[in-house]
Structures are given as structure tokens and as C-alpha cells.
Amino acid sequence: MPDLLAAAEVKRYLGVEHSDDDTLIGEVIAQVNAAVEAYTGKAFATQTDRIDYVNGGGECLILLSPISAIGSVKDHFNADELIAGTDYEFDPKAGLVYFKPDALAASLGELGGKWGAGRRRWKVTYTCGYGSYPADVKAAALTWIADIYAHRDAASSERLGDQSVTRDAIPERVKQMLAPYRVTAL
């Protein structure tokens, strides 16, 4: 999966002209890229043949969005038994996969009208992503990377009186910048 930002962009933004921190900057870019996807529930770069193991037990499976195609849905608990493509449909914008109404009726006995329960039960191969990163998402990532880089030698959390700062958490200003892209839980 391509990173949200290139190392050269980040170094320019940070004003870093040396190569001493190239490894650190690369690690922070990867960390922030993954965290932005996890926080928003969105895939920004196109990802082909992405495989996710999704929890069951609900009315839908939740994937990164937007979804452009689903290659397969398999029941990982039952020797990767393939679920027929005719038995489910998906909402590409929301990243949700549902049983089709007639397939749902047929499955009521075994699955109780829902995707069978189980942590990481459903193995889904799919294609998702916008194809490019919106400028405001890049700005949010740069802001977060700059915060991490500026405090790279500090403790992960500090307490001063009744105030506390945790460096591992997403900064509030970054959350605000990513809010329009965030998929809210059902």
C-alpha cells in the first residue's frame, strides 16, 4: 500500500535537510498512514486484493471504504468456505457488506439472520480506495507527523498538575481535520 506522504514531502515540511532521521521519518509515515486509515475507516490509495479478517455476529461486515469490488468472502472458521457472490451485496461508499434479503432468509437457521459470530471470522478480499489522497487528509497527516517528530525524544505521556498529554494519541486538531472522512460505527 502506498504511503500517504513521500519522505521528501515530510522532510520539506519539517525543514529537515539531513538524512540522519530518514529511517525514523519513514517509520512515522507508515505509523501515521495506518492510523489515519484505522481512525477514518477509509482507504485513500487504491488497494487491490486487500485481505481483511472481519468480526462476525452483526448484520453487516465493516470494511475500509470506498469499496470498488469484492473478490471473495470466506468463512475462515469453516476451512475458508466461499460465500457465493449472489448471497451478499455491499454499500461501496459506507464499506458495508450485507446478506441479500433472500440469502438472509435462507441463512436464518444457521446464522440467526446475521453474519456468523466470531472474532476475525470472515476473510474478505476486495479492492478499495479513492485512488489519491485529498489535500486536507495530507495536511492532517503532516500535522500529526510534525507533532510526533517534534516530541520524538519526549516521554509518551507527561503530567503537569491536573493536565495530561499523551503523545501516542491522535492530536485533537488532527481529529478535527479528519472528521469529514470518518466512518462512524453502526
Q: Residue 171's closest CA among 141, 145, 152, 144?
A: 144
Q: Residue 147's closest CA among 170, 120, 119?
A: 170
What is the residue whose three cell numbers read 471470522? 121
Is 74:87 a contact under the CB 8 Å cutoff? no
Does the pLDDT of residue 111 top 80, yes or no? Answer: no
123-167 pLDDT, tens digit per residue, is 999 999 887 788 999 999 999 999 999 888 765 555 666 665 555
> Quick one: average pLDDT of 48-74?
92
Q: What are 124's three cell numbers?
A: 474478505
List strands edge to edge, sheet with 88-91.
60-62, 96-99, 88-91
Per-residue model confidence (pLDDT) at position 9: 92
Is 116:77 a contact under the CB 8 Å cutoff? yes
CA–chain centroid gap for 100, Å, is: 25
Look at the pTM and tell me if it is higher than 0.75: no
Numbers of helices and strands, H then E, in the chain: 5, 9
> Quick one: average pLDDT of 99-120?
67
Does the pLDDT of residue 53 top 90, yes or no? Answer: yes
Per-residue model confidence (pLDDT) at position 109: 46
Interatomic CA distance for residues 6 and 15, integer angstroms = 14
Percent of the chain with pLDDT strictly greater than 90: 56
Residue-range domain boundaries for the chain: 7-43+132-181, 47-128
